[in-house]
Chains A and B, each alone.
Chain A
Amino acid sequence: MIDQHTLDAVLAGDQAAWDVTVKRLTPLVWSAVRAYGLSTADAADAVQGTWLRLVESLHTVRDPARIGAWLFTTARREACLVRRRTRGERPVADPADPPGPAETWHPHADPALAVVVADEGRRLWGVVESMHEPCRSLLRLMAAAPEAGVLQLAGRLGMPPGSYGPTRARCLNRLRSLLTAEETASAAPPPTGRGTAP
């Protein structure tokens, strides 16, 4: 996502290189945060904190390939804290610092990242398209209308509002299982006989 040349320029204080970094990685950070159901204002706050933490930790960055993973993990953490607060937990300041990048800057520190990198998007949608209803429509609609509330989404899917949450949870579970099964299949050695799983 970011090459060594860009990282070197950022570390040397080049604002233009930083702007490139922001442009490339903002969609990842924004999506990570919005998945927590935050309002635009709260999501913006969590995203800003994520970038401030990167600025604070820049001097420890060596490998540009790891910046995306770190930002993704940090954004999820910030969003999680904001969501807890909006649900009524009430510390004035957010508790404890996240681990410094030196401890977490492993490319696969957050296995979740594999799902969101660009090349995986097509595979992900391929799996969604193979799913039965109502999951296929529900997941499509959820992604296409990120601002829509439960009432609206449930209405468009023709289900009672109370069913939306549990159905979504089941569909996400199903999607997770299908992705895991696909990964297992692609990682397994070629079958040597009959009777392999479909």
Chain B
Amino acid sequence: MTAGPHRPDDECLIAALHLAAGRDPAPDHVAAAARAAFSLRLPGAVTARRAAVPAPSGVRADDRARLLRFGTGDLTVDLEVDAADGLIDLAGQVSPCQEAGTWVEVRTPCLTESRVLSAAGRFAVTGLPPGWFSVVCHREDRPPVATSWTRIRP
């Protein structure tokens, strides 16, 4: 691929040819999923973006791929991802410690699971379908914090 500032790459040319030919319409379920995504809108939420995970000693690079960190200025969500039998288990830690009653939602396009944080700020959800997910932390008198949508495959 030799894409310069004004030289579209191969994929762009192929996309343009497909689009112009009109012979590869998106399946109905693709557009339906896009329409349904609007229901996952969270007005006023703060987005926690992916951040680098510091390497704990003794953890292999392969294992670190299973640790995800998301952060805003005042809140960090750490997640450990496990895949078993084609489903996803998430164990999470919200820090710093939040006040009692803080709860999280683990959202996917097809289901949402709610958990109250433990006193130590931990939560866990098992048996999620593979695909896109976001964790939303709801706090008293403050806007919710939502981790950016992330795709997980077993």
Q: Check B56 for interface membership: any CB of A closer than 8 A.
A: no
Interface 0/1 of B1-44, CB less than 8 Å to A: 01101111111111111111111111101110111011111111
Residue of B nearest to A78 (CB): B151
Q: Check A26 for interface membership: any CB of B closer than 8 A.
A: yes
Task: Tell me whether B11 and A35 are in contact (CB under 8 A).
Answer: yes
> Looking at chain A's contact residues, is the secondary structure mostly helix, strand, loop, or mixed?
helix
User: Which B residues lie within 8 Å of A35 (CB)?
Assistant: 10-15, 18
* A92 CA / B65 CA spacing, docked (Å): 6
* A142 CA / B13 CA spacing, docked (Å): 11
User: Which B residues lie within 8 Å of A51 (CB)?
Assistant: 33-34, 37
Q: Which of A56, A81, A94, A124 contacts B47 (CB 8 A)?
A: A56
User: Which B residues lie within 8 Å of A100 (CB)?
Assistant: 47, 49
What's the interface size class on B, roughly? Answer: 35 or more
* A95 CA / B8 CA spacing, docked (Å): 25
Task: Tell me whether B24 and A30 are in contact (CB under 8 A).
Answer: yes
Residue of A nearest to B47 (CB): A56
User: Which A residues lie within 8 Å of B134 (CB)?
Assistant: 52, 56
User: Which A residues lie within 8 Å of B81 (CB)?
Assistant: 92-93
Given A97-B49, A111-B8, A47 and B15 touching (CB < 8 A)? Answer: no
Q: Check A150 for interface membership: any CB of B closer than 8 A.
A: no
User: Which B residues lie within 8 Å of A27 (CB)?
Assistant: 19, 22, 25-26
A-B contact pairs, 11 of them (CB 8 A): A15-B35, A23-B31, A30-B30, A35-B14, A48-B34, A54-B37, A55-B41, A59-B44, A92-B65, A111-B7, A125-B17
* Known A27-B19, A31-B15, A56-B149; 12 more pairs at CB < 8 Å: A22-B31, A26-B26, A44-B27, A44-B29, A59-B43, A80-B11, A85-B153, A112-B12, A114-B8, A125-B20, A125-B21, A176-B13
Q: Which residues of B come within 8 Å of A, CB atoms?
A: 2-3, 5-27, 29-31, 33-35, 37-44, 47, 49-50, 65-66, 68, 81, 83, 109, 131-132, 134, 146, 148-153
Q: Which residues of A come within 8 Å of B, CB atoms?
A: 13, 15, 18-19, 22-23, 26-32, 34-36, 40, 43-45, 47-49, 51-59, 76, 78-82, 85, 90-97, 100, 111-112, 114-116, 120-122, 124-125, 128, 139, 142-147, 169, 172-173, 175-176, 179-180, 183
